[in-house]
Amino acid sequence: MSDVRHTPIARTMVQVLPAGGGVDAHRHDENQIVYAGRGVLSVTTDAGRWIAPENRAIWVPAGTVHEHRAYGETELHTVGLPATVNPLGLDAPAVLAVGPLLGELLRTLTREHALQPADSSGPNRRLRAVLLDQLRDTSRQPIRLPTPRDPRLAALCGLLHGDPSDNRTLAAFGAQVGASKRTLSRLFRTELGMTFPQWRTQLRLHNALILLAENAPVTTVAHRCGWASASAFIDVFRSTFGHTPGRRH
């Protein structure tokens, strides 16, 4: 196991992405923490999509082919760690909670005049050690939208991507895509690791974050994403993200 006192920061960067901007599919030899200090960021792989508002970050393991997309003007902070340094012990992307200290560490390490990654001075060693400690203690957030592979399941999910407010039952969708409710229910559990209602809620939350980043009113977001009322949407949003959709950081 690497000694945290000598763990280098592989690469740091901060950039501002315009609304709708992004970075096409690519991979890195190092692990990365990708943090939106402002705006909303998504990371997409062939396995699914992870989305993070400004109080979340996304862990991207070394070697993962992925692309970034920004919703609203997004301030993107990226901190790399050697592939041998994995304080989270994860081999797949994950959304991480970002408290005040972790957020400030990520911003500090990516500032234009931050200490150089190879610098082994006391201040740099201490920043690295605190960063790794914070990552080990941070909680993972269930903000993931896995990608279906079965064509019937993909067709159903495509319908909901096109209209997240579609409130039809699983049986009704099954009649359209040519599969029974029982078959689709099994596919959701085996392929996507969640139930149909859980997946639809994840889809709606992802779309809600995008609409909020585009400054859509909360009531409009609630209705366009399929909630019966703004208060129902606010309750689900708060239980998932820890704050109401109208509050920033």
Region 211-231: what's the mean pLDDT?
94
Range scoring the smallest mean pLDDT among 57-71, 99-113, 155-169: 99-113
CATH for the stretch 148-241: 1.10.10.60
- Enumerate the CATH 2.60.120.10 domain ranges in the chain, comma separated: 4-141
DSSP secondary-structure letter at 6? G
* Mean pLDDT taken over the chain: 87
> In this prediction, what percent of the chain has a pLDDT beyond 70?
90
Which pLDDT value is given to residue 2?
Answer: 39
Region 30-55: what's the mean pLDDT?
90
Which pLDDT value is given to residue 102?
Answer: 93
Question: What is 4-141's CATH topology?
Answer: Jelly Rolls (2.60.120)
Which two tokens mark 22? 């992004």
Which pLDDT value is given to residue 171?
Answer: 97
Region 117-125: what's the mean pLDDT?
59
DSSP secondary-structure letter at 88? T
Q: 15-19, 90-94, 141-145 — which one is most confidently predicted on average? A: 90-94
Region 172-182: what's the mean pLDDT?
97
Count other C-beta atoms under 10 Å from residue 37's C-beta: 19
**Confidence tier at 124 by pLDDT (50, 70, 90):** low
User: Where does 106-154 show beta strands of DSSP type E?
Assistant: 140-141, 144-146
pLDDT of 160 strictly over 70: yes
- Enumerate the CATH 1.10.10.60 domain ranges in the chain, comma separated: 148-241
Q: Is 135 left (phi over 0), alpha (psi -120 to 50) or beta?
A: alpha
